A and B are shown apart, each in its own frame.
Chain A
Amino acid sequence: MKDSTATLTKAQGVGRSDWERETTSRTGAGAVDDPYPKFAALRKNGPIHRGSTFEIFGVPDPTRDVWPDAHRFTIISFAEAEQVLRDAETFSNAGIRRMTEYVFGPVSLMGSDDPEHRQYRLLVQPAFARKSLSMWSQFVRPRLDELIDSFIAKGRGDIYFDYCAQFPVYVIGMALGVKREDLEQFHEWAAKLQVAAAPPDEARAAREAVHRYMLDIVNERRRAPRENDLITLLVQSEIDEGEGPRKLSDEQILGLISNLLPAGAGTTYRSLGITLVTLLERPALLAQVREDRTLVPVVIEEVLRWNGPVLVAPPRLATRDTEIAGVAVPKDSIVECCIAAANRDPAQFENPDVFDPFRPQKPTLSFSTGPHFCVGSQVARMELVTALNALLDRLPDLRFDPDQPQPTLTGLWYRMPTGVPAIWTP
């Protein structure tokens, strides 16, 4: 943590607009820059620690009022995090339902357990399969080129805000059928639907706004189905809740959209921003990647391990008295698995603090694990690879702007760069 953090105010998170700085500061942007030394120090005392992640870092906990009386634990080791995330019977997602009711409403992929969760999961997964990537990729490169066209002549700019932040919401919006002129507004709603990113009232208002907006599109697709279209897939899907298969209700479809929107809205662009800062800090590696594009996915995977966009998996609820690494965890405890700490566990990765894209490929927890493994991992990987390649193609001499302060990475639950001020030859 930097000494200056004590003087930071709420409005000093990361973002170009007020609502964005507020949502990022709520989850620790500006208050915690480098969480990793703290994890390394905690590791000496074992894999599991008392308190929420926010409490451990001494940052106001936006989730505190959700479970005011629960015991809170945070796990920082790979093996124990993996064990908890895979054992969904002992460590339920039902606790998240309470935290996210105002975000997701009654349908919650993240806040439900199998078999209910599995039904919804299997229903939406085909839209995110490799075979369906064109449903998303058709919007990606055209959008990226359009963005680059808009700023390339200037020769300098902050490409975190003007590039990274300007495409994932656009892509998911286009896939959902949102009109171009409404995408800016849609971006704000999507950001506020991220767990704990906005106060409950604002998140609820954002969900209701999304529902009102999307209901027209849902009805339109029922009348006139489209090929290769996400909403058409949802309106044509059937679910069996014990009374035989039937079509999804409006409420279920809108609920699923509210679940999927925030996931696509923040993580991908923050990952791209972190990737760019990491590469611009390493000009020799950047040049190597530019010449050998097979390294693009390799670099991205290592960034996701070394400094991913999500520090913590959504908290789990202990359904019975249990034990993790010899520590008693009473029933109804809330357990946070710290993905970022697990991904730097020396028991899993050699020299874990070193950014090394050439390290042997090993499983990470970057997209979590267990039944709630990120549904959009293939889409996210495709978007990140396409966006980095587009920059390497069109701004080959991209480098940090020497007249601007070098950016830092910041944030606790959600990680991001403070910006990516860069210059290039137009």
Chain B
Amino acid sequence: MAHNFRIRLDRARCIGAENCSHFAPATFGNEDGQVVLLPEPHDSEAQIRAAAGACPMQVIHLDPINPSKDSSNEG
């Protein structure tokens, strides 16, 4: 699903609470106790924003994509 942001994870700070996968189970997973981005994320923008907001450690960053610089990014 194309969103106008790119998901960036600050894995070093992750505590593996898995609250992100509660909100956006098709986007965030867990490997070795820390968050990973799943291969083909297909949650809604609202779900992903809720997951980022609900992350207790604020590990999930949604960087806006500037369409003039990179119009092909699928987020």
Contact = CB atoms under 8 A, between A and B. Distances in A.
Contacts of B53: 362-363
Contacts of A374: 17
Interface stretch (A122-130, A134-142, A169-177, A274-282): A122-130
B56 interface: yes
A223 to B, nearest CB: 27
Given A122-B16, A126-B33, A130-B30, A370 B46 contact: no
A360 interface: yes
A12 interface: no
B22 A121 contact: no
A86 B13 CA distance: 13
Given A362-B53, A378-B18, A86 B58 contact: yes
B30 to A, nearest CB: 6
Contacts of B19: 367, 373, 377
Contacts of A373: 15, 17, 19, 56-57
Contacts of B46: 360-361
A98 interface: no
A361 B15 contact: no
B15 A122 contact: yes
A130 B21 contact: yes
Interface string B32-75: 01000000000000110010011011100000000000000000
A247 interface: no
A2 interface: no
Contact of A361 (B16, B47, B57, B58): B47
A50 interface: no
A131 interface: yes
A364 B56 CA distance: 11
A368 interface: yes
Contacts of B21: 130
Contacts of A367: 19
Nearest to B47: A361
Interface string A246-274: 00000000000000000000000000000
A368 B17 CA distance: 11
Contact of B22 (A118, A375, A381): A381
A130 B18 contact: yes
A157 interface: no
In the complex, which range does the number of interface residues on chain B fall in? 10 to 19
Contacts of B47: 361
A129 B56 contact: no
A390 B46 CA distance: 31
A90 interface: no
A369 interface: yes
A311 B66 CA distance: 42
A371 B18 contact: no
B71 to A, nearest CB: 30
B54 to A, nearest CB: 4
Contact of A129 (B22, B30, B50, B58): B30
A125 B16 contact: yes
A361 B23 contact: yes
A86 B55 CA distance: 10
- Scoring B15, B23, B30, B53 by chain A CB atoms within 10 A of each residue's CB, the highest score goes to B15
A129 B16 CA distance: 8
B56 A121 contact: no
- Scoring A131, A360, A361, A368 by chain B CB atoms within 10 A of each residue's CB, the highest score goes to A361
B56 A125 contact: no
B30 A377 contact: no
A38 B67 CA distance: 48
Contacts of B30: 129-131
A369 B15 contact: no
Interface of A: 86, 118, 121-122, 125-126, 129-131, 360-364, 367-371, 373-375, 377-378, 381
Give the 3 A-B CB pairs with smallest separation, nearest first.
A373-B56, A363-B54, A363-B53
16 contacts: A118-B15, A125-B15, A125-B17, A129-B16, A130-B21, A130-B30, A362-B53, A363-B23, A363-B50, A364-B54, A367-B19, A371-B56, A373-B56, A373-B57, A377-B22, A378-B18
